[in-house]
């Protein structure tokens, strides 16, 4: 079946850029999403990209999509302590609106 894979941890220094990567297998994905989960909270939609786009930028966030390699990345510029969270990648394919989720990448900020 379809699968979404992410590294479990990423550690960066405050002020540096963070790049969180995700690979997926479903070639019929229409939308790809990034969600952020802070401790004790729900999943907050950060951004999403339609599969016919290569890039989307929103303030400090840049999403890159390589459809040929089925690779999605989220770049956070000038990483702050408030960016500490788990970041989930998800993709939707087909018409049933269900999402296939990655396991989440925990972003750790070093001072």
Partner 1 sequence: DARVTQTPRHKVTEMGQEVTMRCQPILGHNTVFWYRQTMMQGLELLAYFRNRAPLDDSGMPKDRFSAEMPDATLATLKIQPSEPRDSAVYFCASGLQGASSNQPQHFGDGTRLSIL
Residues 6+ apart with CB under 8 A from 37: 43, 44, 85, 86, 87, 88, 104
Cα(22)–Cα(44) distance, rounded to whole angstroms? Answer: 18
> Quick one: 59 or 96, whose CB is closer to partner 1?
96
Q: Which of positions 29-88 make contact with partner 1 (CB under 8 A)?
A: 30-31, 33, 35, 40-45, 48, 88
Name the segment binding partner 1 (CB under 8 A); options: 12-20, 57-65, 74-82, 90-98: 90-98
> Quick one: 43 or 61, whose CB is closer to partner 1?
43
The answer to whether the beta carbons of residues 67 and 74 sit under 8 Å apart is no
Question: Residue holding tokens 């788990």?
Answer: 86
Contact status: 7 vs partner 1 (CB under 8 A): no
The answer to whether the beta carbons of residues 37 and 22 sit under 8 Å apart is no
> Quick one: 9 or 15, whose CB is closer to partner 1?
9
The residues that touch partner 1, with contacts defined as CB under 8 A, are 30-31, 33, 35, 40-45, 48, 88, 92, 96-99, 101, 103-104
């Amino acid at each position: 079946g379809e699968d979404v894979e992410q590294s479990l941890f990423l550690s960066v220094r405050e002020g540096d850029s963070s790049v969180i990567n995700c690979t997926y297998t479903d070639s019929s994905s229409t939308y790809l999403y990034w969600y952020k989960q802070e401790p004790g909270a729900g999943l907050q939609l950060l951004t999403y990209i339609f599969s016919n786009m290569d890039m989307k930028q929103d303030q400090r966030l840049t999403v890159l999509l390589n459809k040929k390699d089925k690779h999605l990345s989220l770049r956070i510029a000038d990483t702050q302590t408030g960016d500490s969270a788990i970041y989930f990648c998800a993709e939707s394919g087909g018409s049933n609106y269900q999402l296939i989720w990655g396991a989440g990448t925990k972003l750790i900020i070093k001072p």
